[in-house]
Amino acid sequence: MIYNKITSGILSSIKLIVGDDAVITSHTDLEKYSHDETEDLHYYPEVVVKPKTPQEIAALMRLCNENLIPVTPRGAGTGLSGGALAVMGGLLISMERFNKVLGIDEQNLQATVEPGVVTEEFMNQVAAKGLLYPVDPASKGSCFIGGNVSHGSGGPRVVKYGTIREYILNLEVVLPSGDIIWTGANTLKYASGYNLTQLMIGAEGTLGIITKIVVKLIPGPTHDALLLASFSTNENACSAVSAIFRAGIVPSALEFMERRGVEWVKEHDGIAFDLKDEIEAFLLIEVDGTNQDVIFADCEKINEVLEEFDCKDVLFADTSAQKEELWRMRRTMAVSVKSNSIYKEEDTVVPRASLPQLIKGIKEIGNKYGFESICYGHAGDGNVHTNIIKGLMSDDDWNNKLKDGIREIFELTVSLGGTISGEHGIGMVQKDYMSIKFAEVHFEIWRGIKKVFDKNGILNPGKIF
């Protein structure tokens, strides 16, 4: 596909649509929009706009379609796969002004929210009414809910409450043609033709730009308990994970953390934590519900399971301050790793009982290619973020040889029944590994679907496939 550049004439048209104050063209101001949280990548769009209405976006889409200008939609730029990067230049549409919670419907336990609302702000507004929206990625304090939808984002509580797919009922979307549609209905059940809502979730902004989101809410839990269990081997920690479910417990979070990650969080965040020499891995386990006794009984059962896997120590968080501290340890791990070293993050996911083999295999691949890795994440879902640390690796090895190592990690992941991304999306960074998992017929179908929505291929080009 050959795209055109944004000429001064097109720029004038853009300004007519959104107003001068919503247009950014200076290199300095574009910098902020040239990267996300993915490694060290920079791609400058030619122009950034900050529209306020679906109609403005529709007009921009028509203009760019007529002139074959690439359009990249962008949420908060917290993505980890480069999905919001304008890799072909062109127009970047920042959704930051779509920042209102339009309504919380307490009769129906639904909310309508714009895509540029920060996830945690939305969760807090909902919680103030005693309700729960449980999809909370680690970046919840800064990411936008629209980005979460577009990437099929998860978080710790998916393990109990289900994926984001279960909470998104309906979407208002601007299509590349400029048409504005609602994808479905504001109903809990929906069996009315191909499900376009589900197709948009995880489409990484390549099929349309989401402008309103109707979300299902549920009554929130009133009590919870948090345990930190320590193990002398990764394998014991990972093996305990599926045993907890087999004991009939569905925790509201079941997170795995490697020792090295905890060490770096201690350094970076100054979290006071007594890290014993023998400990190699941790499980952070949360149980929630509406009855304290049941939660205690669940904790007892979990304790029994942990003992079977040679758990060295269980720390029970007594106060909400302690709980916050333990959660902070887990949530800041990505930032701590980043501040310590150049790194790459791969979002590996396998059936949960295969976690021990996955982690073991990743370490072996690291030994072969000479890199250290730190694994942590949503063990209850079999979803572990594999952070590859540059450390002492040469630039040449890092930029070239490492690709083969990452390929081996994904080959292992796929051989264990897993896939290329659990919740970060494919974007541009994981794109090269898709052929490990998928055959040409998948690519043909995806390209076909893309073409149905976006015949000129203007929307978020260079992503997924």
| Interacting positions 277-296 with its own copies (CB under 8 A) | 289-291, 293-294
Looking at the DSSP bridge assignments, the partners of residue 141 are none
**CA distance linking residue 303 with residue 227, whole number of Å:** 9
Rg (CA), the chain: 22
Residues numbered 7 to 66 that lie near its own copies (CB under 8 A) are: none
Does residue 370 interact with its own copies by CB under 8 A?
no
Residues numbered 123 to 162 that lie near its own copies (CB under 8 A) are: 130, 151-154, 158-159, 162
The sign of the torsion formed by the CA atoms of 252, 119, 152, 464 equals negative
Nearest distance in Å: CB 275, its own copies: 29
**CA distance linking residue 334 with residue 336, whole number of Å:** 5
Does residue 242 interact with its own copies by CB under 8 A?
yes
Among 16, 32, 124, 219, binds its own copies (CB under 8 A): 219
Residues numbered 384 to 443 that lie near its own copies (CB under 8 A) are: 414, 417-426, 430, 434, 437-439, 441-442
Does residue 185 interact with its own copies by CB under 8 A?
yes
* Among the residue ranges 35-43, 62-70, 212-220, 333-341, the one whose residues contact its own copies (CB under 8 A): 212-220
Does residue 191 interact with its own copies by CB under 8 A?
yes
Among 8, 26, 107, 319, binds its own copies (CB under 8 A): 107
Residues numbered 337 to 366 that lie near its own copies (CB under 8 A) are: 347, 349-354
Residues numbered 306 to 325 that lie near its own copies (CB under 8 A) are: none
Burial class (CB in 10 A: 0-12, 13-18, 19+), 123: buried
CA distances in angstroms from 445 to 231, 431, 448, 459, listed in the order given: 45, 16, 5, 17
| Side chain identity at residue 316, one-letter code | F
Q: Which two tokens stand for residue 384?
A: 């572990």
Nearest distance in Å: CB 175, its own copies: 7
CA 359 to mean position of chain CA atoms: 20
Q: If DSSP codes are grouped into helix, strand and coil, which group holds residue 375?
A: strand
For its own copies, which is the closer residue by CB, 330 or 450? 450
Judged by CB under 8 A, how many residues of this single chain contact its own copies? Answer: 95
For residue 290, count other CB atoms closer than 10 A to its CB.
Answer: 11
Q: What is the DSSP letter of 233?
A: S
For its own copies, which is the closer residue by CB, 15 or 223? 223
Q: If DSSP codes are grouped into helix, strand and coil, which group holds residue 399?
A: helix
Nearest distance in Å: CB 303, its own copies: 17
For its own copies, which is the closer residue by CB, 186 or 232? 186
For its own copies, which is the closer residue by CB, 258 or 454? 454
For its own copies, which is the closer residue by CB, 153 or 387? 153
Does residue 111 interact with its own copies by CB under 8 A?
no
Among 3, 264, 343, 453, binds its own copies (CB under 8 A): 453
Q: What's the angle, vertex CA 159, arms to CA 95 and CA 137, rounded to 5? A: 25
For residue 321, count other CB atoms closer than 10 A to its CB.
Answer: 9
Q: What's the angle, vertex CA 120, arms to CA 118 and CA 125, rounded to 5? A: 100
